[in-house]
């Protein structure tokens, strides 16, 4: 949940994850963490909490969608063909992880509203399912994840009340929660995503191999008695 302190809960290992729905490496990283948890003997004692991060904070939710290649080309000042080739490489890497990206039809939009839906889902115990559905909607289905009707439909897909989800988005009930996550990321010095913090201490940055996540899980589980409050790097950025 927004604004919660990093740390180890008394009865479980908490993994805090900062990510953005429009981040291709975040979807990969989440998938790799899931694969690591499938191999981790204490997985039932692990709680994963998702926190909002905006890769493109200046991209308004009500702006017209653009293609990821056009966005990448403009952001880095490279020819459109080069940006498309870069996205093709990302698509191939995603395929190796077991994901089906279609960046040629993805619609890049502001993601503040999608993050609000994640927080709404968290209040219903469905945050992980909601985050995964948002990733799939953006990367595979090419849906506009800033559109309230689309988002309400995605909420229904994971078993949430469509009308309640739509009302929460319309009212902006969870806008402050999104901002709190962003501010918390700044306080901890998080500058890129995905960023995983295990037990409030050990950090894994980027879409690392399953083995890196298993190492972090093993180490933090062994120190489940508490956290010093500092974050030590277990694995660096790997994108």
The whole-number mean pLDDT for each consecutive block of 10 residues of the chain, a chain of 239 residues, reads 49 93 98 98 95 94 94 94 97 98 96 98 98 98 98 98 98 98 95 95 96 97 63 51
In the numeric block, the tokens 């604004």 are attached to 3
Q: What is the pLDDT of residue 232?
A: 54
Distance separating alpha carbons of residues 201 and 6, to the nearest angstrom: 8
Query: What per-residue confidence (pLDDT) applies to 7?
Result: 52
d(CA 96, CA 51): 26
Residue 6 lies in a domain: no
Burial class (CB in 10 A: 0-12, 13-18, 19+), 58: exposed
Please report whether residue 5 resides in a domain. Answer: no
Provide the 3-class DSSP secondary structure of residue 238.
strand
Please report whether residue 117 resides in a domain: yes
pLDDT score for 238:
47
Q: Which domain holds residue 221?
A: 13-238
State the pLDDT at residue 239: 55
Sheet holding 13-19, edge to edge: 46-52, 13-19, 195-198, 202-206, 232-238
Sign for the CA dihedral angle at 160, 163, 164, 170 comes to: positive
At residue 12, the pLDDT reads 87
What CATH number does the domain containing 233 carry? 3.40.30.10
pTM of structure: 0.90
> What is the per-residue pLDDT for 228?
42
CA dist., res. 148 & res. 132, Å (int): 18
Q: Are 21 and 111 in contact (CB under 8 A)?
A: yes
- 103 in any annotated domain: yes
| 3 within some domain | no
Q: How many domains does the chain have?
A: 1
Domain annotation covers residue 144? yes
């Amino acid at each position: 949940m927004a604004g919660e302190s990093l740390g180890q809960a008394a009865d479980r290992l908490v993994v805090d994850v900062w990510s953005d729905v429009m981040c291709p490496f975040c979807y990969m990283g989440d998938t790799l963490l899931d694969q690591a948890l499938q191999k981790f003997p204490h997985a039932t004692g692990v709680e994963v909490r998702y926190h909002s991060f905006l890769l493109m904070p200046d991209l308004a939710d009500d702006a017209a969608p653009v293609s990821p290649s056009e966005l990448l080309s403009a952001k880095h000042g490279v020819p459109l063909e080069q940006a498309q080739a870069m996205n093709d490489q990302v698509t191939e890497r995603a395929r190796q992880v077991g994901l089906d990206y279609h960046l040629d039809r993805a619609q890049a939009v502001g993601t503040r509203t999608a993050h609000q839906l994640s927080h709404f889902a968290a209040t219903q115990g469905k945050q992980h399912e909601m985050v995964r559905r948002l990733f799939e909607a953006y990367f595979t289905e090419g849906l506009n994840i800033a559109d309230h009707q689309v988002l309400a439909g995605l909420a229904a897909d994971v078993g949430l009340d469509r009308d309640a989800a739509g009302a929460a988005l319309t009212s902006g009930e969870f806008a402050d929660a999104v901002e709190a996550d962003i501010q918390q990321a700044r306080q901890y010095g998080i500058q890129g995503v995905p960023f995983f913090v295990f037990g409030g201490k050990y950090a894994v940055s980027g879409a690392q191999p399953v083995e890196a996540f298993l190492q972090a899980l093993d180490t933090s589980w062994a120190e489940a008695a508490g956290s010093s409050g500092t974050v030590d790097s277990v694995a660096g950025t790997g994108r």
